[in-house]
Homo-oligomer: A and B are copies of this chain.
């Protein structure tokens, strides 16, 4: 039963445009789920020295280059702007912990049902928290997680901003302040929620596929 089911599920029903993923030659056999990386035919450009170094650093530290970077690699200006904004936002100085920023990323991506971001950032929540269940909860329904008041207020704001941004007003900011967030923190919550509003849509526009390796990380 299971075997037959697997075959049916793996049968590729539609054939998107091909995009080579030359940075991952070590993979013994191509995986159905991360090749091609996107459904747009955008041949990779020559990496700038900065980006070549950055890709090497990814390969060394993570063992792979995240597919979103490969997807952007058709144009160095776009890739560098994306990397600069991402690294500042998700890894730079903030009143929000890195875990909290990843929790926002996943809760937002869950509302938009973004496969790429749920897979890649769900893994990050599992890793940062050491709690695989928390990663599942962010991806499935953040309300199911038993969160502190601070984190619940943070995610409520991020999700309202995702679903009905027009309704975010002074009262919503006030609720965050009462939960202990500074005005700078409020900016950061908004900026992370906004960044994934963008990334989710670029992923859907291009049918971006996450690296298969994420699925098994930190389970």
A binding-site residues for B, Cβ under 8 Å: 1-6, 8-14, 16-17, 32-33, 39-42, 74, 77-78, 80-82, 84-85, 88-89, 92, 97-100, 110, 112-115, 118-119, 127-134, 136-137, 139-141, 143-149, 151-152, 157, 161-162, 165-170, 173, 183-184, 186-187, 189-191, 193-195, 197-202, 204-207, 212, 215-216, 219
* Identical chains in the assembly: 6
Cα separation A14 to B172 with both chains bound (whole Å):
14
Cα distance A173–B14 in the bound complex, in angstroms: 13
Residues of A contacting B: mostly: helix
- Is the Cβ of B98 less than 8 Å from the Cβ of A88? no
Which chain B residue lies CB-closest to A195?
B198
Contact B92 A77 (CB under 8 A): yes
Point out the residues of chain B lying under 8 angstroms from A88, CB to CB. 77-78, 81
Closest to A4 in B: B97
Partner of A32, one of B2, B74, B146, B162: B146
Nearest B-chain residue to A217, judged by Cβ: B219
Known: A42-B183, A99-B1. A137 touches B165 (CB 8 A): no
- Other A-B contacts than A132-B215, A197-B197, 20 sampled, CB-CB below 8 A, are A1-B99, A6-B130, A9-B145, A11-B146, A33-B133, A39-B173, A41-B183, A80-B84, A81-B88, A84-B85, A110-B113, A115-B144, A132-B216, A139-B139, A143-B167, A165-B204, A187-B206, A190-B201, A191-B205, A193-B201
Q: A77-B92, A149-B13, A194-B205 are in contact. Are A165 and B112 (CB under 8 A)?
A: yes
